[in-house]
A and B are shown apart, each in its own frame.
Chain A
């Protein structure tokens, strides 16, 4: 019998690989099935959004930032708008109704993002049916987006100073129908995974990171909370009135893939709790933006009938509005943890510099620590569990 030849093998995983969530490339050194080293290579999706944004007027940046982290579009645009409002000093004037609607949309976006995560992650570790179920429920959320803005993935509904327009008729019914349906469906997903022997074997003790390492590598959001870091921007630095809502921040201590799963599923439940409270506070009709004619365009019916409104409309859409010189960074809790936009203005109608704090980039950086020493099959489970969105990593 011939001797078995063994040598260390270098494998390129990605950039074209269905389980790397986009175009992440990993150069793995393998000894049999064990990963000896891993070096992530990123940048395949770099589209220069930050440079592009410097050429745009303030309100034109909103559709751009929604395309960065394409699974949490409304969180991105909300974070950007809040930073700009802080520079304008307009955030104190934002009506409570707008704040509650923003909270509602941000939480729906979190559920949406976590559903995509649960579906793809489940599929990658072998539970294919979970993906179909998750995308079925996500469809309802996309329908709500279509309802408010006519665009399912990137609604651009958040605007500096408030929202683009008032809520559509039937919005409350659609959200309530979703919130009534979702808890039962979430129980079904949990039935499929939480005590599933195969799923437990694939996830428990895999991709472990300690609490101290999570802080040192700037991990935030569900990954850090699964390792015991009790940090949620909504609780620690409340914004938009989150301090008046009743919700918990789920944490785990194991820091493995399974703990991240538990945290995210619990977060979906907490988000639904917030959504119900927000929905009760939102009236079907009311203020949807601050009353500042320099920032908020007038309603369309007034543009068609009044001279002043037409001028105002024309000025905002041709010249935009100016923002006082300065810098601001307002952190919010997105689906992947603290995110926000460091915004610098030079006092003109275009941003001087915007920088997105990208939680996925830092998660991607820590990936190496999570997979080295493990098995190649676990690499898939770990990439899924850190929930990287390459649009956010590369921008």
Chain B
């Protein structure tokens, strides 16, 4: 299915969505999807007759700072049935960097979206587990943003002392000893 037919078919499924095809040099026809209609479009791509993009091959983002809208979230889809590939993208402004999660459509988006949140600070609304994935949990900032410095000198955060106080520690030891003695 070529890009024009694909857009027509999608437009029928989701009439409100703005779909905008763009030139591409590789074997992925590419289109921009309006942010508010991402999930219905994703669902139509997965379930639509003749589309069947059941495999989410890749989900990532790119930061085009200082251009606005600065972020693009990129989804690479594969249809195993029709042996075709597709790339859809969503533009996001730097001041309003959030988009709905597609983990309800493709479960594998879970970690991929966590990685994008971790490295770019793009929030995914409705994500089941919105935590950092790769960076330490107490990391400040989003390293793959273009305005994030390459080299940072900072005191290490992660070498915090023991999580229990000395008093709690002694109590734990005592409790264990008592329970052993009872046996």
A positions within 8 Å CB-CB of B: 2, 5, 42-43, 46, 48, 50-51, 55, 83, 86-87, 89, 215-218, 220, 229-231, 236-237, 326-331, 338, 340, 342, 344, 352-353, 355, 357, 361-362, 364-366, 394-395
Contact = CB atoms under 8 A, between A and B. Distances in A.
B56 interface: yes
Contact of B26 (A46, A55, A330, A353): A330
Contacts of A362: 108, 111-112
Contact of B136 (A43, A83, A327, A352): A43
Nearest to A357: B58
Contact of B63 (A5, A329, A353): A353
Interface in B112-163: 112, 115, 119, 132-136, 143-144, 150
Contact of B54 (A51, A215, A357): A215
Nearest to A230: B80
B87 interface: yes
Contact of B25 (A89, A216, A230): A89
A344 B62 CA distance: 8
Interface of B: 24-28, 54-58, 60, 62-64, 74, 76, 78, 80, 83, 85, 87, 106-108, 110-112, 115, 119, 132-136, 143-144, 150, 179, 183
Nearest to A218: B108
A88 B28 CA distance: 16
A87 B26 CA distance: 8
Q: What are the 10 A-B residue pairs with the smallest beta carbon separation, nearest first?
A: A218-B108, A43-B134, A46-B134, A365-B111, A355-B60, A328-B26, A353-B62, A217-B108, A357-B58, A2-B183
Contacts of A46: 134-135
Contacts, number: 98
A218 B80 contact: no
Nearest to B114: A365
Nearest to A331: B57
A54 B16 CA distance: 37
B35 to A, nearest CB: 19
Contact of B76 (A216, A220, A342): A342
B108 A329 contact: no
A237 B83 contact: yes
A231 B60 contact: no
A357 B155 CA distance: 32
A118 to B, nearest CB: 27
Contacts of B57: 218, 220, 331, 338, 357
B150 A55 contact: yes
Interface centre among B55, B85, B112, B115 (most CB of A within 10 A): B55
Contacts of B179: 5
Given A51-B144, A237-B85, A330-B26, 7 more contacts: A42-B133, A43-B132, A86-B25, A87-B25, A327-B26, A338-B57, A357-B76
Given A5-B183, A231-B80, A43 B25 contact: no
Contacts of B106: 216, 218
A376 B179 CA distance: 26
Contacts of A5: 179, 183
A16 B27 CA distance: 42
14 contacts: A5-B179, A43-B136, A55-B150, A216-B106, A218-B56, A218-B106, A218-B108, A231-B80, A237-B85, A327-B25, A329-B76, A330-B26, A342-B60, A362-B108
Would you call the interface of chain A mostly helix, strand, loop, or mixed? mixed
Contacts of A353: 62-63, 144
Nearest to B26: A328
Interface centre among B28, B60, B80, B136 (most CB of A within 10 A): B60
Contacts of A365: 108, 110-111
Nearest to B23: A326
A48 to B, nearest CB: 6
B80 A215 contact: yes
B58 A43 contact: no
B143 A329 contact: no
Contacts of A340: 58
A46 B132 CA distance: 12
Contact of A394 (B58, B78, B85, B134): B134
A328 B134 contact: no
Contacts of B115: 361
Nearest to B58: A357
B11 to A, nearest CB: 24
Contacts of A87: 25
A342 B133 CA distance: 20
Given A86-B26, A216-B108, A218-B55, A51 B143 contact: yes
A50 B60 CA distance: 12
Contact of B107 (A51, A217, A230): A217
A395 B25 CA distance: 26
A43 B133 contact: yes
Contacts of B110: 365
Contacts of B58: 329, 340, 342, 355, 357
Contacts of B150: 51, 55
B107 A42 contact: no
